[in-house]
Amino acid sequence: MHNTHDEPATVASIDVPRYLGTWFEIARLPMRHEPEDFTDITAHYSLQDDGKVRVRNRALDGKGELQESIGQASAVDDSNSKLEVTFLPAGLRWIPFTKGDYWILRIDPDYTTALVGSPDHKYLWLLARQPALDDATMQDYLAHARAQGYDLADLVHTPHTGHPTA
């Protein structure tokens, strides 16, 4: 049994250009400010001129209307696997923090599936390049999260309706 106070281990390094682009949220630990009825949640990462990564989160709300928040991520060290993400005030309506730690805990060699969490074990996201992930892969990544000390009892599986937000 892992001590829940231990920080999770991150991947050794991230190739930022390969990480850029659109990711679909497959599952997450619920966040206080994120409404339960949001669907089609995506995150799009692009490189800014200053070398930081622009983060654009989009979702459809319960009325089917597009919600968006824009932030930026900067690497904490040379591994690029620990990022500090800051969201601008317009995004505060549904993002749980104005500044947060975004640690990449696992990623496959092809950069098609990623597990991201906060070091305090409060937040967790399972991301994929497609809106659906096969069950075996999903269970494998969730088992990795549990082994790192994340409690998945409240895990939310994000619905994807096929309506584009990316």
Kindly report the average pLDDT of the chain as a whole number.
89
- Sorting pLDDT into bands at 50, 70 and 90, what band is 2? very low
- Tens-digit pLDDT profile for residues 142-157: 999 999 999 999 999 9
Q: Give CA separation, 118 vs 61, 94, 123, in Å.
A: 24, 17, 5
Strand partners, 46: 54
- Tens-digit pLDDT profile for residues 81-123: 999 988 766 555 555 556 789 999 999 999 999 999 999 999 9
pTM assigned to the model: 0.88
Contacts of 153 (CB under 8 A, 6+ apart): none
